[in-house]
């Protein structure tokens, strides 16, 4: 490997990663537009916060090895679909489906994969809605379809997933069954909390609507 070769590889790798950064920028703008417009029209904000990240080269490298894919940019692109990742934290479960429907309805977005871990939680209790989408990115000399993994969840689901991730991260040995059961129990409690909050939210919304209808029918004297 000579210096010129190394330079060429570096340029190609940077271009490769840049496309994913652009895809994240594009997706972030799309979600922010949905959030602002929804807020304006319905006077209600379904999104608590948005996080995005580019997978680190080390993490891509580990996944390439785990998936036994070739070390070429083309096969990495077709195999690793979460190089660009976005997490949308919503207020209520119904907001998750509303947001995912609004994303799916955009003409330039293609849904590659849709996994509903809310209707079908993972055995450990993990819940979230996962979508892998492809969006077109326009560059100076080409157009590319780039995949982005979008995870949509409530604050309670995010709370559980973040702490569960931290527990595994800090503890490399096998987790005792008792603790796994407790983690699953906590996930069920988080799901219960979500359903309870959604119920209250719907009740109050109904009361608000009834109040507005009453106001409408008051005849001007
Ligand atoms: P990171 O560091 O968050 O990126 P894949 O391995 O992605 O090809 P898989 O396993 O079918 O295929 O993907 P899935 O089920 O859609 O999950 C991918 C991502 O969801 C994970 O990314 C996590 O972010 C999250 N996730 C899935 N299961 C769990 C879980 O049990 N606990 C927590 N805390 N998060 C989970 P990565 O790449 O594993 O990690």
Give per-residue pLDDT as tens, 33-62. 999 998 999 888 999 999 999 999 899 989
User: Is pLDDT of 132 > 60?
Assistant: yes
76 closest CA partner among 49, 55, 107, 48: 55
Question: What's the pTM value of the predicted model, to 2 decimals?
Answer: 0.91
82, 123, 125: residue to mutate for ligand 1 pocket, most atoms within 8 A of CB: 82
User: What tokens appear for 24 in the block?
Assistant: 């994240």
**Amino acid 71: pLDDT:** 82
78 closest CA partner among 146, 27, 28: 146
Alpha-carbon dihedral angle through residues 191, 103, 49, 114, given to the nearest 10 degrees: 40
97 closest CA partner among 125, 118, 121: 118
**Amino acid 219: pLDDT:** 59
Lowest-confidence range among 8-12, 26-30, 90-94? 8-12
For all residues of the chain together, what is the average pLDDT? 92
Q: Give strand pairing partners of 148.
A: 84, 133
Q: What is the pLDDT of residues 101-112, one digit of tens each?
A: 999 999 999 999
Q: So which residues are the catalytic ones?
A: 149
Ligand 1 atom with least separation from CA of 125: 31
Q: Give dist(CA 93, CA 59) in Å, integer.
A: 30
CA of 188 to the centre of ligand 1 (A): 19
């Amino acid at each position: 490997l000579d210096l010129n070769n190394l330079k060429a590889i570096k340029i190609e790798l940077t271009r490769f990663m840049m496309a994913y950064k652009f895809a994240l920028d594009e997706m972030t703008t799309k979600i922010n537009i949905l959030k602002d417009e929804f807020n304006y029209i319905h006077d209600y904000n379904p999104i608590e916060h948005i996080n995005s990240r580019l997978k680190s080269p080390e993490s891509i490298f580990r996944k390439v090895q785990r998936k036994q894919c070739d070390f070429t940019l083309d096969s990495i692109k077709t195999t690793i679909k979460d190089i660009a990742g976005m997490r949308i934290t919503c207020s209520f479960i119904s907001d998750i489906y509303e947001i995912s429907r609004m994303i799916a309805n955009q003409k330039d977005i293609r849904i590659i994969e849709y996994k509903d871990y809310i209707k079908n939680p993972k055995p450990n209790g993990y819940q979230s809605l996962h979508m892998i989408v492809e969006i077109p990115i326009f560059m100076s000399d080409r157009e590319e379809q780039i995949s982005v993994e979008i995870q949509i969840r409530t604050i309670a689901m995010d709370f559980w997933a973040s702490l569960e991730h931290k527990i595994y991260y800090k503890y490399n040995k096998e987790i005792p069954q008792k603790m796994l059961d407790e983690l699953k129990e906590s996930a069920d409690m988080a799901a219960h909390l979500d359903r309870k909050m959604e119920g209250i939210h719907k009740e109050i919304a109904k009361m608000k609507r009834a109040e507005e209808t009453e106001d409408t029918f008051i005849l001007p004297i």
